[in-house]
Structure 1
Amino acid sequence: MSADDRRPILFVSRPESGLLNPMLVLAGELVDRGVPEVWYATDETRREQIEGRGLKFVSLGAGPPELSLSTMDDAAYSRFASRSKFVSHRESLQMVMQPKLMAEEYRRLTAAVDELKPALMVIESASGFAHALAIARKIPFVATLPFLPSHSYASWVPLMAKSHLPKHFPRPNTGLPFPMNPLQKLQNLFFGLRTLAMYMGKKMRPHLTEYVKLQQEAGIRREDTRADGQVTESKFVMAFSVAEVDFPFPRPEGLRLTGAMVPPLPEAPGANPVSEWLDAHDSVVYIGLGTLQRLSRDEVAGIVEVARKLNGRHHVLWNLPKERHELLPPAAELPPNLRVESWLPSQFDVLAHPSVKVFFTHAGSNGFHESLYFGKPMVTRPMFADCHDIARRGESFGLSLTVNRPHLIEPEDIAAKLTRVLTEPSFRQAAERIAAVQQAAGGRERGADLIMELVNGELEPAPQALRSPH
């Protein structure tokens, strides 16, 4: 493949870290192999990160702050992080169905696709407009999934999309087990009916109408917009996961499982204060509750108390966003086993370090898979939408424990669960089994192989020279 006989490969994703980061690892692997004309379309806020990895950047605009967990107002955040799993689920679906806020992004993407005429698009699962655009333009595409494999094959809205999963399989974002007892089956059914009612309700109708108008403006026909199009119309679905961490379902022919997207390690080579500190301690609990959780002063104090309870047995490394550091107690009051950082050179390097024994996490999909890639069991505090499903799988397969009340920081409960995971060998053994499966799945190298096999075997030469979209 060369620049003058092939059209570009265009990656498309939302700008949120959980969606973008694994895609960037995959795109970066293509760049490292010398593949020319690898482009990435996302919000302008990610330009430096994308171009710094050697990719060509397509700006989709500034991105509306209302649609990002990191910039939405506190009222919207509280709904997204609601104690009610359905409210959190509802907010996550409504957040991606805001066509008036997304109109500029859709138009910019349409213009870029029509100008670049990519030979292949690689599109993450939350970018539904990009899927429909690829189908309408008859551009081959790969659908990527940074979540559990079953999420791509579920019917998120009953009657509006076909489910490709067994009967009574738990719906996405319910956090339900599998198999389910009769009461749980009713809860699962009711969850789906509430989702359907939401989509058919008066509040959603104007958004759906506006979305159809924007699709028509882009030349996307109704038949191009199947809700399960990423499954039925893609060349294949590439899930950054393995079957062993999801509930069982018949594996579709078009599903490719690669395991976690892990970059070449060490990601931050050479000595640094964090790596030297890890080297100096035998047993470390790593706390990373994500950049999106808005911890209160009491919650920050509660996590400090967790470290205090582990003092004398384990050290604690806590990755706490810089804006939350002002909520910490005075340095003199922190326990001696606790190290708090506002930024880490590489979370991959931390999880790979032999001194790290357990990960206390919000159960985001990337962190979950990355922790297991290195054989590290977890304690989880799920707060958002799909995190409940991740936490349920972790407990079901003996890979993690979930705190009793995720919307509270209860030091006794958290410390007890961390101690149990640290001292009962079964958690480490289960995590190490999944590590072996993930590493055998091939990760970024396997993902890049699949893309290049597709490109080299099926795609046609470019009809004209490339031009940069504006």
Structure 2
Amino acid sequence: MESQRRPILFVSYPESGLMNPLLVLAQELSRRGVPDLYFATDEKGRSEVEALKADTPVEFASLGGTVSEMSAVTWDDETYREVTQRSRFKAHKAVIKHSFAPQARVEKYRRLADIVDEVKPALMVVESMCQYGYEVAITKNIPFVLGVPFLPSNVLTSHVPFAKQYTQRHFPVPHSGLPLDMNVFQRVANQLFKFGTLGLYMTSEMKKVVEQDTQIRKDLGISPKARGMMARIDEAEMVLCYSVPELDYSFPVPEKLNLVGTMVPPLPQAPDDEGLSDWLSQHDSVVYMGFGTITRLTRTQVAALVEVARRIGDGHQVLWKLPKEQQELLPSQEELPENLRIVSWVPSQLDVLAHPSVKLFFTHAGGNGFHEGLHFGKPLVVRPLWVDCDDQAVRGRDFGVSLTLDRPETFDPDDVVDKLTRVLGDRRFRERAEHFSQLLQSAGGRSAAADLLLSLPALAKD
């Protein structure tokens, strides 16, 4: 009987933007009655994994506590300011500086290796940012699928010159926020972004970190094949990307890359939403503001957004998901406009975006939020936060589904109101968003991803 087991092990960081698509896929397999499902992540993700069971169980495998270097939500305010500054290269440099910490992944690698030895997975499904996940899979010769919650070019384009990449050489570097059609200054900036990243690794400080990484790889016995960012692509059995080709700039798509659209569970995801859906149904036009789990607003920014809600109050309600700890920055209840509803959490952002009363999504344009908004045909106004957000923002603008704030660091009310009213008032934004909604939904989402996964040779029965 042992030879008939085909365990599937999901591996992810616990950040919601990275883990959520894999949770949807794992639950879809459970719903289909697939046995021997396991999900390895940090202890903070235990409750979400244990809630997945639809038919067959999804066993939680703990990778221990969260390591600060691997979790942006734990970074101190100074680090947050560095990684979200408006200089895209300086922000990119700060992210590398704070997240490239070889020692931080040692315990995670060992814990995952022990889990693999116990579970003996026939296949691993690894979130694309989870380095120790694909390192274990490659080292132990376990077939793995890479899950990508970003635009496909994000993982197929190199950050440094002369390195292998799957896109064209002139392609915009990830995190640069540059368009495909560049003027001469942008082309220079694109090349400088790559050479600047290379130069970062040549500093004396970073050389020491690279040397430490090399020694750790040797001590852990990590296969040389796992080195380099393209190893996760080259060695994967399959790459699942939760997007569609039309939402990225054109490039030759590798055969192993499958674009399956947005990963959305069956809706409503949270039928008991404490009256939120009833409130939405009472209004003809609602702007939904949600900036992800990482965004930290200042008192000035909060005041600016309150003023934005006041100014667009004629015919539009505003639903604002603002974390409880940031609500102390709000003015007094008496000073809030009547058209503004503030919640610390929504039971399901997907249920909100799916509601017909929601006409626009004001977002930071992270990989999941960008695709989720368009999945339900909602045009966007974008306040890009960091890393991939600028890349999604520029593509949204170029493809006619969004406008980006001119001054995202301040939430200038004049700028925000201008962008909101233009998107709300121009039907072309809605029509383009609905066009991409059709493409994303036709791609198949969780159902297509599960079909592809189950068709792999690693899961074939003897």
Contact 2:122 2:458 in 1 (8 A): no
* Corresponding residue to 1:180 among 175, 182, 192: 182
* Corresponding residue to 1:267 among 263, 266, 269: 269
Distance 1:3 1:344 in 2: 44
Equivalent residue, structure 1, for 2:301: 299
TM-score, structure 2 length as denominator? Answer: 0.96
In the TM superposition, residue 4 of structure 1 has moved relative to its aligned partner by 6.9
Consecutive aligned runs of 4 or more in structure 1 exceeding 6 Å deviation: none
In the TM superposition, residue 115 of structure 1 has moved relative to its aligned partner by 2.3
Equivalent residue, structure 2, for 1:117: 120
Residue type matched to 2:45 in 1?
R
The answer as to 2:384 corresponding to 1:385 is no
Contact 1:3 1:37 in 2 (8 A): no
In the TM superposition, residue 409 of structure 1 has moved relative to its aligned partner by 1.1
Equivalent residue, structure 1, for 2:248: 246
Residue type matched to 1:379 in 2?
V
Distance 1:376 1:460 in 2: 40
Equivalent residue, structure 2, for 1:145: 148
The answer as to 2:49 corresponding to 1:47 is no
Alignment of 1:230-245 (within 5 A): 230-245=232-247
Q: 1:25 to 1:316 in 2, by over 3 A?
A: same
Contact 2:105 2:132 in 1 (8 A): no
Distance 2:118 2:98 in 1: 29
| Identity in percent | 49
Higher alpha-carbon deviation: 218-227 or 308-317: 218-227
In the TM superposition, residue 77 of structure 1 has moved relative to its aligned partner by 0.8
Equivalent residue, structure 2, for 1:103: 106
In the TM superposition, residue 74 of structure 1 has moved relative to its aligned partner by 0.9
Distance 1:440 1:134 in 2: 31
In the TM superposition, residue 136 of structure 1 has moved relative to its aligned partner by 1.8
Higher alpha-carbon deviation: 271-280 or 378-387: 271-280
Q: 1:208 to 1:271 in 2, by over 3 A?
A: closer
Equivalent residue, structure 1, for 2:367: 365
In the TM superposition, residue 88 of structure 1 has moved relative to its aligned partner by 1.5
Distance 2:194 2:348 in 1: 39
Contact 1:316 1:337 in 2 (8 A): yes
In the TM superposition, residue 132 of structure 1 has moved relative to its aligned partner by 2.4
Distance 1:271 1:215 in 2: 47
Contact 1:154 1:165 in 2 (8 A): yes
Residue type matched to 2:33 in 1?
G
Distance 1:56 1:216 in 2: 31
In the TM superposition, residue 363 of structure 1 has moved relative to its aligned partner by 1.0
In the TM superposition, residue 3 of structure 1 has moved relative to its aligned partner by 8.0
Equivalent residue, structure 1, for 2:324: 322
Higher alpha-carbon deviation: 89-98 or 305-314: 89-98
* Corresponding residue to 1:77 among 77, 80, 83: 80
Structure 2: 5+ residue stretches without partners: none
In the TM superposition, residue 240 of structure 1 has moved relative to its aligned partner by 0.5
Alignment of 1:48-63 (within 5 A): 48-54=47-53, 55-63=58-66
Q: 1:89 to 1:271 in 2, by over 3 A?
A: closer
Contact 2:286 2:316 in 1 (8 A): yes
Contact 1:7 1:116 in 2 (8 A): no
Contact 2:365 2:389 in 1 (8 A): yes
Equivalent residue, structure 2, for 1:34: 33
Q: 1:77 to 1:112 in 2, by over 3 A?
A: same
Deviations 1:77-111 (A, max 9, x none): 11111121112212323344212222211211122
Equivalent residue, structure 1, for 2:19: 20
- RMSD between superposed Cα atoms in Å: 1.6
Q: Aligned with 1:213: secondary structure? A: helix
Q: Aligned with 1:203: secondary structure? A: helix
Residue type matched to 1:202 in 2?
S
Distance 1:188 1:332 in 2: 49
Distance 2:236 2:224 in 1: 17
In the TM superposition, residue 461 of structure 1 has moved relative to its aligned partner by 6.5
Residue type matched to 1:27 in 2?
A
In the TM superposition, residue 188 of structure 1 has moved relative to its aligned partner by 0.2
Distance 2:29 2:259 in 1: 18
Distance 1:210 1:151 in 2: 27
Higher alpha-carbon deviation: 116-125 or 215-224: 215-224
Structure 1: 5+ residue stretches without partners: 463-470
* Corresponding residue to 2:222 among 181, 202, 220: 220
Contact 1:10 1:38 in 2 (8 A): yes
Residue type matched to 1:191 in 2?
F
Distance 1:62 1:3 in 2: 32
The answer as to 2:56 corresponding to 1:88 is no
The answer as to 2:432 corresponding to 1:430 is yes
Contact 1:66 1:73 in 2 (8 A): no
Contact 2:123 2:458 in 1 (8 A): no
Higher relative contact order (Cα pairs below 8 Å, separated by 6+ residues):
1
In the TM superposition, residue 270 of structure 1 has moved relative to its aligned partner by 4.6
Distance 1:28 1:130 in 2: 20
In the TM superposition, residue 224 of structure 1 has moved relative to its aligned partner by 3.5
In the TM superposition, residue 171 of structure 1 has moved relative to its aligned partner by 0.2
In the TM superposition, residue 448 of structure 1 has moved relative to its aligned partner by 0.7
Contact 2:286 2:357 in 1 (8 A): yes
